[in-house]
Amino acid sequence: MEILDGKKVSNEIKAEIKVEVDQMKERGEKVPHLAAVLVGTDGASLTYVGSKVRSCKRIGFESTFIHLPENTTEEELLRQVEDLNNNVDIDGYIVQLPLPRHIDEQKVLMAVDPDKDVDGFHPTNFGKMTLDMESFVPATPYGIMELMRRYDVDTEGKHTVVIGRSHIVGRPISILMSQKGKAANSTVTLTHSRTKDLAKFTREADIIVSALGVPDFLKADMVKEGVVIVDVGITRVPDATKEKGYYITGDVDFGNVSKKASHITPVPGGVGPMTIAMLLKNTLIARERHRSRS
Ligand code: NAD
């Protein structure tokens, strides 16, 4: 069994990006600039945005963190988005999800300039991705693909079962893995909460990408020997014995499933760090596109 070590690979990717940033600096060029907008004080969102901003600093990107109060109106947020669209210094930005319930998430995502949409959530980018055109690929599925590419996981002609159909993970990874290319060319089954007898599909799967957010959902009797497991789930489980008052776990019963798997991602240290690395990669791509146009 081989661990798909997202922490190690993400560090390699960040080191590669840093080399490019250092060269930009040596040439006296502008370095990539990522902005992150967070509305409210959700603990997990604060942690994610914090580590995105810290990663920018470590690799030499410029970063701007825009923290708005929970009671920010939709109109105010849309104005902020417009400002970021018009700010030539910003190469890319993200609006951290979920947004408070009084704000229409789709309206906000639609307002993001596709050229700065480094999360790849705008329909223009999602559509281009689906049509094999150059686009920003959402960071989590992009990270999963890159992790499998770098470990030479054989996906060609394999049966991949994706659990979860969200717009940010399940849906895009099912599209990407069915396309032509490395870590792709797979035969994909997309399963979700309405799937009947889900274990029937997972037991036949060569590769399982689990993105539902239910701890210990995928058990050893639901998978076959030699399966490749990508665990996207991140759930905070309350635990008074831990310093933070919780521990992080994935969707997979790691202890038992790893005994049958050929490859498996741990949680934490698997898909999570890859997501941040690919967001940085998308921001670098955005900078390069903006430079070639100016
Ligand atoms: P979501 O919460 O929007 O949706 C969950 C999906 O799971 C839905 O499509 C639903 O149909 C499916 N589902 C729910 N219960 C099910 C069941 N019993 N059987 C089969 N399918 C079921 O999904 P999301 O935003 O993609 O998040 C999923 C998990 O991945 C969460 O734990 C989230 O925190 C994590 N996540 C991790 C990263 C990362 O970087 N590692 C990034 C994004 C999300």
pLDDT tens for residues 162-195?
Answer: 999 999 999 999 999 999 999 999 999 999 999 9
Tens of pLDDT, residues 220-273: 999 999 999 999 999 999 999 999 999 999 999 999 999 999 999 999 999 999
Terminal-residue alpha carbon distance, the chain:
49
CA distance linking residue 161 with residue 178, whole number of Å: 11
Going from the Cα of 251 to the center of ligand 1, the distance in angstroms, rounded, reads: 9
Q: Which atom of ligand 1 is nearest to the CA of 44?
A: 34
Most informative mutation of 162, 163, 232 for ligand 1 (most atoms within 8 A of CB): 232
Cβ of 169 less than 6 Å from ligand 1: yes
CA–CA dist 116, 72 (Å, integer): 22
Pocket probe mutation, ligand 1, options 42, 106, 166, max atoms within 8 Å of Cβ: 166
| H-assigned helices in the chain | 6-26, 43-59, 74-86, 105-111, 123-130, 139-150, 170-178, 198-204, 254-257, 271-293
Q: What are phi and psi of 158, to 5 degrees?
A: -80, 160
**Which tokens sit at 31?**
């370095």
Q: Where are the beta strands (DSSP E) in 145-286?
A: 159-163, 187-191, 207-210, 228-231, 235-238, 246-249, 263-264
**Residue in 174, 234, 247 to alter for ligand 1 test, most ligand atoms within 8 A of Cβ:** 234
d(CA 142, CA 73): 32
| Bridge pairing between strands 246-249 and 207-210 | unpaired
Ligand 1 centroid – CA 1 distance (Å): 25
36 burial level (CB within 10 Å; 0-12, 13-18, 19+): buried
Contact 272 CB / ligand 1 (< 6 Å): yes
pLDDT tens track for 98-138 = 999 999 999 999 999 999 999 999 999 999 999 999 999 99
274 lines ligand 1 (CB under 6 A): no
Cβ-based neighbours of 108, under 8 Å, separated by 6 or more: 74, 77, 78, 81, 95, 99
Token reading at 76: 């105010």
Closest CA to 278 of 148, 127, 84, 90: 148
The whole-number average pLDDT for the span 70-77 is 98
- Is the dihedral angle over the CA atoms 110, 271, 179, 32 positive or is it negative? positive
Centre of ligand 1 to C-alpha 234, Å, is 9
User: Does the beta carbon of 140 sit less than 6 angstroms from any atom of ligand 1?
Assistant: yes
What radius of gyration do the chain's Cα atoms show?
A: 19
* Conformational region of residue 45, where left means phi above 0, alpha means psi within -120 to 50, and beta covers everything else: alpha
Tokens of 22: 């250092």
Q: Can you tell me which atom of ligand 1 is nearest the CA of 275?
A: 40
Tokens of 93: 């930005």
Catalytic center residues? 52, 96, 119
Specify the residue with its C-alpha closest to ligand 1, atom 24.
166
Arithmetic mean of pLDDT over the chain: 97
Quick: pLDDT tens for 28-63.
999 999 999 999 999 999 999 999 999 999 999 999
Ligand 1 proximity of 179 Cβ (cutoff 6 Å): no
Q: What does the pLDDT look like over 203-220, one tens digit per residue?
A: 999 999 999 999 999 999
For ligand 1, atom 25, name the residue with the nearest CA. 166
What are the residues whose beta carbons fall under 8 Å from the beta carbon of 128, sequence distance 6 or more?
134, 135
What spacing in Å lies between the alpha carbon of 140 and ligand 1's midpoint? 12
Q: Is the per-residue pLDDT at 27 higher than 80?
A: yes
Greatest alpha-carbon span in the chain = 59
Residue 294 has pLDDT above 90, yes or no: no
What per-residue confidence (pLDDT) applies to 293? 82
* Residue 152, pLDDT score: 97
Which residue reads 């409210």 in tokens? 40
Give 37's strand partners: 66, 95
Q: What is the pLDDT of residue 292?
A: 87
The reported pLDDT for the residue numbered 178 is: 98
> What is the pTM for the complete model shown?
0.97
CA of 211 to the centre of ligand 1 (A): 4
**Which DSSP state fits 207?**
E
> Ligand 1 centre from 249 Cα, in Å?
13
